[in-house]
Amino acid sequence: MSEHRDGVAAASAQWLLTAFPPPADPFAAMSAQWQVREATSVAARLRYPTDADDALLELCGPGGCARLDWAAGAGLGGDGDDAPWRTWVDEVVVSWAAALLGDPALAAEAAEAAGEPLDSPLVAPSASDLAAAALLRHPDLLAPVADLHAAELRATVAARPV
């Protein structure tokens, strides 16, 4: 993954973990973080598949997360120490990652389409994985964010050669 896609994936993962926090248990938090990071990595790879896309990302930037905060009903915005990472959040990457977290079958298709086939909690979550990321895996909670760009995700996955 390129440096810019990786930065967008990390910031987008941080937004998801802030908006849909995992349990306080350190092992559950680590599991949730891993699942979210995989989802944002796959989403970023689909969103920015080429070096040219990555160069445009560097030039234009990802756009930030103001609309996501509104869609999630989260009062996450602020001008504290976390503000710089929020500028690297990509609304489409977050939306796609949320859709992948809410639908393991779609996650498997997307990972394959992105050239990153996974045999992991993202595509085959165990009961403990689901418990660790209960808010992050709840389709009703994710819907306002996932639905922002779900049609585009499905079209992108369908259009990619496998």
Between CA 87 and CA 78 the distance in angstroms is 12
Question: What is the phi/psi pair of residue 39, to 5°?
Answer: -65, -45
Between CA 8 and CA 22 the distance in angstroms is 21
CB neighbours of 21 closer than 8 A, spacing ≥ 6? 135
pLDDT of 74 reads 64
pLDDT of 105 reads 94
Q: What is the pLDDT of residues 7-30, one digit of tens each?
A: 999 999 999 999 999 999 999 999
Domain boundaries, the chain: 3-159
Residues of the chain with pLDDT under 50: 79
Torsion of Cα atoms, 39 then 60 then 52 then 46, to 10°: 20
Residue 8 and residue 93 in contact, taking contact as beta carbons nearer than 8 Å? yes
Token representation of residue 108 = 């498997």
CB neighbours of 158 closer than 8 A, spacing ≥ 6? none
Between CA 77 and CA 31 the distance in angstroms is 25
Between CA 41 and CA 58 the distance in angstroms is 17
pLDDT of 80 reads 53
Torsion of Cα atoms, 14 then 15 then 18 then 23, to 10°: -60
pLDDT of 161 reads 72
**CB-neighbour burial class of residue 57 (10 A; exposed 0-12, middle 13-18, buried 19+):** buried
